[in-house]
Amino acid sequence: PCPVSYNPEQLPPENSSFLEGAFVCRFRCLLDNSSGFLPLNIQGRLKFLHGQSRQPSDSERGSPPQLALFAIATPLLPPAILEIRTKNMIFRTKHKLDLTPMACDAKGKIVLGYTEAELRVRGSGYQFIHAAD
């Protein structure tokens, strides 16, 4: 994937309201056999990633810091009784943009049956998506 380039002089200051936003996105719901779509309200802001630990290459030196989206997703619809019962199966993971797993909480390790190190070694997270989805 090619990184998006931008001119930092064309972006507003980091505390600007331009970098905050909200939108609704439909996600495929695989928690039960209904296989419907769940509308989520995504609310967050773009923040500059300063001081990354990786050393920049010669071509990247002097380039502006990258932007990242920090957001919270909340369902628009109240949960059904079945979803409340399956709440003990909900876990959190952190991924790179190519969907490679980076971190997984304790519940995710139990549900998935992998440690964080094993998830990272397996490569892209796209291999965990079923072909019929």
Identify the pLDDT of residue 117. Answer: 85
Does residue 11 register a pLDDT over 60? Answer: no
Q: Are 40 and 76 in contact (CB under 8 A)?
A: yes
CA 105 centroid distance within chain = 14
Q: What is the mean pLDDT of residues 3-7?
A: 56
pTM of the model: 0.43
Does residue 101 register a pLDDT over 60? Answer: yes
